[in-house]
Structure 1
Amino acid sequence: MLVGAALALQVAAVWGAAPRTSGAGNALADLHTALGVTCASCHGTAKVAAVDDSERSINVTCVGCHGNLDAMAAQARAGSHVNPHKSHLGDINCTVCHMGHVQSKAYCTNCHAFAMKIPAGDPVPQKPAPKAAKKAAVKQRVERADVVVIGAGAAGMTAAITAHDAGARVILIEKQPITGGNSMLAAGGMNAAGTRFQKAKGIADSVELMYQDTMKGGGNIGDPALVRVLAKESAGSVDWLTSLGADISDVGRMGGASVNRTHRPKGGAAVGAHIAGVLKKNAVQRRIDIRLNSKVVKLIEDNKGRITGVQVEGKHSGLYTIKAKAVVLTAGGFSANADKVAFYRPEYKGMTTSNQPGATGDGMDLGAKAGGELKDMKEIQIHPTVAAGSRILITEAVRGNGAILVNHEGKRFVNELTTRDKASAAILAQTGKSAYLVFDEGIRKSLKQIDGYFHLELVKEGATIQELAAAINVPATVLEATVASYNAAFDGKSDPDFKRPDIPRPIRTARYYAIEVKPGVHYTMGGLKINADGQVLAASGTPMAGLFAAGEVTGGVHGNNRLGGNSISETITFGRIAGASAAKLVKGGAKK
């Protein structure tokens, strides 16, 4: 009976198919019941159904009946434009989207405007909660670990792996139902100087040049000590990632860089999902304790102000405490927190963001409440090229590989490889406060991730420049002249109009393409103040005992403007440093 019911449900659950309902309710549990699947099939026969916060046991049952994500992806209806079971999010739990007793929702729609149908996607009427019987007070459970890492993006997974490999027992806490954070969305690449991959391509670079570029790009207000660490350790971080199985052997250029130093997978694929997948695989192989749907609500201090653990609120388990010898904050920035963005920068109120929904600044708040100093909080970056009408970031690597920016009059108006703040300001000064990225088939083939923009239907195209001009409603003769002038600059190896420092390709190969872009809130340069060992600093300037931080939760590395490619570089380098410092403290080292 259950086998037949499971097969029937499997067919019904294929994305876009119309599921059968019993009429008894709208929840996924009701659909299962209508097919003869009992509560015990998912929850077992125990009197009290226990579900872990990461929902691993439930997902094992889901996969047992329906197959894994690859199996479900293979069943997608012919002609489906978007396959939700095959995405850049990687191997995620079924329960990220499919909820048993409340309304199901496609996680993709947090960022994308896909018209996705999902079984049990209609609102579920909520029954009045029964009056709770008086219960005896239950003692809150207490666990122990050497190191607790808060936030499972690239910085957090890097810190966790590093601390684990140094001999520490690590618990990695993530409030979202998936790992990866904003790192999962990183597109352009990872900046590093003096790497083996640069040397193999004959690219002359140095730690000093990367330091100077980063300081200049950030308005010379970045912390020089932290920027030097970023540059000095960048090649080592590339080697470390490569040793874990990452491919970042392709090298390109992004805005503000003097030479090609942006490392990414071969063919120019997006770096973030690749690195996040490699880090997660390594964390799982090491059996690091990763807890999803778990939010740290408080840092625990002893009577001397030393951080000695965390209080966690699990989705199913409720409040509990983890005592630890060291805590590492890697919970990211706050670009998805519209209220916090508007508080610090009122002029950005109502602006879209390119960030995933978990980027709300919780880690900064935790550190600040414990006494950590915040710095540069008003330094919020808007990225110049977010696809108009969406939250989809168009990677800076498109411009780095040769695309140009033109306005609604069909003219170039800025050096496409200038820093993000200047490019954003230039776009906002144009008609409609938007512009078009224009490129050709040659540029498309040079960067694999451009194919994704076609998949998302963000691209207009034409067989000729004239046809493209008609598609985006700009004067054809002007656009033709603009492209011809740019091609002449390529031929002459000089851009007299806008002084673009690098023109790697002309725009001559049909077909021709354009994506309308607008600036959007992208990155928060401010955060908790740290030193070169990743220790969080109090307002007095002294390190807070037992507390470390890395990644976008910190401030000081990027000044008032982050260069493209420096985010992943920061998360890996300072994630390694914070993880190593935390493990050293656990093992009796000096960093307290």
Structure 2
Amino acid sequence: MKKRSPLPYAVLAVGIIAAGILGYQTRSANAVPADAVTMTAEADGFAGPVKVSVTATADKIYAVKVLENGETQGIGSKAIDQLPGVIVEKNSLAVDGVSGATFTSNAIKTAAADALRQAGFDAARFGAEPVQAETTADTAMEIPADAIRAIGEAQGNNGPVKVEIVADKEKIYSVKVTEHQETMGIGDKAAEQLPAAIVAGQSLQVDAISGATVTSNAILEAVRAALASAGLDASVFEHAPLVSGEKADDVVLDTDIVIIGAGGAGMTAAIEAADAGKRVILLESQSMVGGNSVRATGGMNAADTIWQDENAFDEAAGVEKTLKTAAEKYADNAEITGLAKTVQEQWDSYRLAPDGYFDSVELMELDTMIGGKGINDFTLVKTLAENSAGAIGWLDTIGAELHNVGSFGGASVKRIHRPVNAEGKTTAVGAYMVPILEENVKKRENISLLLSTTAEEILTDGKGAAVGVKASGETGNTVTIHAKAVVLTTGGFGANLKMVEQYNPKLKGFMTTNAAGAQGQGIVMGEKAGAAVVDLDQIQIHPTVEANSAHLITEGLRGDGAILVNSEGKRFIDEVGTRDVVSAAEIAQPGSFAWLVIDQKMADKSAVIQGYIKSGYTVTGEDAAKLAAAMGVDGAAFSETLDSWNGYVAAKQDPDFSRTSFAEPLEGTLYAIKVMPGIHHTMGGLRINTKTEVLNGEGQAIAGLFAAGEVTGGVHGANRLGGNAVSDFTVFGRIAGENAAKLAG
């Protein structure tokens, strides 16, 4: 709302420059002996190969230089400026990466290690990680001389998936994914895990990796293609996987804190608790981390941040509309009325002396309360908004930068903070954040991550306090964990369609955008431990789910200027309204679907849109008439709709549906995605307080039991605003980790 001092960032910039200078001084200060060797190598960075030269002897590194790279200026360039000097100064590759530039840092260290190996030196002597053997085949399996090596390819979610196999007519000895463009944190997990499963089971009927079905199927099809190209009969391997039948031993573990669910909230809580010095066991029922969090496409809402100030303020109409809604529809709601009074005062003051970008914690609270129809737990809403800007700063410290700010449905102003890729294009927040959270979890020695381990019961003592968890391991063995605190971060129940129908029968038959693990187990376990629940009937449907694949299409496209048209080629709603309102309007259209229309300018700025195009979700046309034909709608009606909309954009006024968010006109080459509503988020769950303590039916905290994220209820009320889910799991995940650590002593 007001300009913040740029001093901290000026200091940071000076620090970066100084670090770069010191790095080069360190290299030049070392006298390089005559027997030193200089070698070059490269490794994949964020935006492509990073080429590095290293000058060294067997026991000392004298120089490291990045020769070529395509990394992002201001992000990857930080690692290029700083890391070589640190490696030389420490004479080690076992140094921390540069915050916010993890991929580039790892590329520099990997390339430097390879250069040392090429020079004939022991890279491990300098702290390099050992070269990992391929895990795609049974390394104990002897490969006969007549085995055939072959290549196969199939279409994945984002493009071709290529594999290399080694096999004969009776056995598959090796499967390796050699090339793919699948989503990090989702599809790449299938590329990591499925090849070994194929070899171990000697089967093409192995289960797909949960949450990565399309990529899994592509790998299997590519293996079939490779077998065919080798002249081998793939049907030999079309049987149930071979299994050893061995059950692992039951195990009993002791820890300070056990966290159930390794999605965004769980990993955030684990990092905070570990950084407080506590031992943490993090359980995940699926074979990979991420849950629903990895599927988040938009960004994270945060109020009154320095990154908002980088935008010109042009959202006066949005603020006025929200204040009008509060006065006309919520005059009997004390919290909303009080917030509206405060925001009105802030708005009047800003208009008298505009300074920076206008937003406030109270305006975020007001938007969230109105979006939730006023039934939200106001104390939780305040906690969410008041800690949102700090959460953006915390994410910076672990290497997750959300600095691009845009518009989103239900928000009065530009508030959603998004990541950008190496080309400066916005990208999906979940696929960006989850790998960074996972990396932070794995590098903390006091966090133990147990995948494919399903919690079944919260253990309690004689007084009802939570003291541990009973779980089932991958082979069916019992895993018992004793702990001083238990944190539930299991997510909602959006993938449990029977449970959805139980609480909201009107949603029977709807598709879902949820990950397979969103089954509501945490809610059931919490209730058995005495927890109260709230708002379980409040289940959100998202208006833009791709009609054929059930893939979530980000709300950010509408915030960036997209429109929705029906099968008659006409707009029918304010596209950036709340999800419940837009979904209801969409259901009321002929066929209960719509077309989301974007243009080439938007596609050029968004890696997300480019992914939709590659995945085949779009139809396209060089102009309105040709796009109308591709959509199968009336050309004259659609052309009139588009002309009217572009006029509204120019005038910054929408007389048809009172939309207040405008970007640029839609023109040139156009694209459209067929969308319909799908089950997206369950607002209800366990009742918690602002400390994330789980409450019983009397409103008292259950000792030792905490919860965060979608497993909880209250903060979102009757409808969640886009961008508030990431805020929710980050803010309350941090609070849960901090308070569980305090309880653990």
TM-score bracket, normalised by the shorter chain, equals 0.7 to 0.9
* Distance change (3 Å), C-alpha of 1:127 and 1:501: closer
Aligned length: 533
Query: Superposition pairs for residues 139-538 of structure 1, below 5 Å?
Result: 140-201=250-311, 202-266=356-420, 267-287=425-445, 288-316=447-475, 318-508=477-667, 510-538=668-696
TM-score normalised to structure 2 length:
0.68
**CA distance in structure 1 between the partners assigned to 2:509 and 2:486 by the alignment:** 35
TM-score normalised to structure 1 length:
0.85
2:192 is equivalent to residue 94 of structure 1: yes
CA offset at residue 247 of structure 1?
1.8
CA offset at residue 314 of structure 1?
0.6
Pick aligned residue for 1:124 from 213, 219, 239 = 239
**CA distance in structure 2 between the partners assigned to 1:340 and 1:108 by the alignment:** 20
Q: Are 1:487 and 1:506, in contact at CA under 8 Å, matched by a contact in 2?
A: yes
* Distance change (3 Å), C-alpha of 1:236 and 1:97: farther
CA offset at residue 116 of structure 1?
2.6
CA offset at residue 160 of structure 1?
0.1
2:729 is equivalent to residue 581 of structure 1: no
Aligned-partner SS, 1:386: strand
Aligned-partner SS, 2:577: coil
Q: Are 2:149 and 2:164, in contact at CA under 8 Å, matched by a contact in 1?
A: no
CA offset at residue 286 of structure 1?
1.1
Q: Are 1:73 and 1:85, in contact at CA under 8 Å, matched by a contact in 2?
A: no
Give the greater-gyration-radius structure (CA). Answer: 2
2:178 is equivalent to residue 73 of structure 1: yes
CA offset at residue 504 of structure 1?
1.2
**CA distance in structure 1 between the partners assigned to 2:145 and 2:693 by the alignment:** 52
Aligned-partner SS, 1:399: helix
2:717 is equivalent to residue 563 of structure 1: no
CA offset at residue 493 of structure 1?
1.1
**CA distance in structure 2 between the partners assigned to 1:114 and 1:284 by the alignment:** 24
Q: Are 2:268 and 2:734, in contact at CA under 8 Å, matched by a contact in 1?
A: yes
**CA distance in structure 2 between the partners assigned to 1:180 and 1:362 by the alignment:** 16
Structure with larger RCO (C-alpha < 8 A, sep 6+): 1
Pick aligned residue for 1:572 from 710, 730, 737 = 730
CA offset at residue 117 of structure 1?
5.2
Alignment deviations for residues 186-226 of structure 1 (CA, whole Å, 9 cap, x no partner): 00110000112112334211000000000000000000000
Which stretch shifts more, 441-450 or 306-315? 441-450
Alignment deviations for residues 218-263 of structure 1 (CA, whole Å, 9 cap, x no partner): 0000000000000000000000001111121100111110000000
CA offset at residue 115 of structure 1?
5.8
Unpaired runs of 5+ in structure 2?
1-139, 154-160, 225-233, 312-355
**CA distance in structure 2 between the partners assigned to 1:249 and 1:451 by the alignment:** 21
**CA distance in structure 2 between the partners assigned to 1:66 and 1:117 by the alignment:** 9
* Distance change (3 Å), C-alpha of 1:361 and 1:108: closer
Query: Superposition pairs for residues 17-56 of structure 1, below 5 Å?
Result: 30-32=171-173
Paired letter, 1:277: P
**CA distance in structure 2 between the partners assigned to 1:96 and 1:160 by the alignment:** 27
Paired letter, 1:517: V
Q: Are 2:372 and 2:718, in contact at CA under 8 Å, matched by a contact in 1?
A: yes
Q: Are 2:375 and 2:718, in contact at CA under 8 Å, matched by a contact in 1?
A: yes
Identity among equivalent positions (%) equals 43
CA offset at residue 471 of structure 1?
0.5
**CA distance in structure 2 between the partners assigned to 1:265 and 1:153 by the alignment:** 18
Q: Are 2:149 and 2:167, in contact at CA under 8 Å, matched by a contact in 1?
A: no
**CA distance in structure 2 between the partners assigned to 1:156 and 1:207 by the alignment:** 25
Q: Are 1:150 and 1:296, in contact at CA under 8 Å, matched by a contact in 2?
A: yes
Unpaired runs of 5+ in structure 1?
25-29, 33-64, 77-82, 588-592
CA offset at residue 21 of structure 1?
6.4
Alignment deviations for residues 449-486 of structure 1 (CA, whole Å, 9 cap, x no partner): 11110111000001111100110111111111101111
Alignment deviations for residues 563-588 of structure 1 (CA, whole Å, 9 cap, x no partner): 0000000000000000000000011x
* Distance change (3 Å), C-alpha of 1:489 and 1:308: same
CA offset at residue 148 of structure 1?
0.4
Which stretch shifts more, 155-164 or 117-126? 117-126
CA offset at residue 379 of structure 1?
0.3
Paired letter, 2:610: D
* Distance change (3 Å), C-alpha of 1:7 and 1:339: farther
Aligned-partner SS, 1:416: coil
Aligned residues: CA RMSD: 2.7
Q: Are 1:12 and 1:18, in contact at CA under 8 Å, matched by a contact in 2?
A: yes
**CA distance in structure 2 between the partners assigned to 1:408 and 1:357 by the alignment:** 32
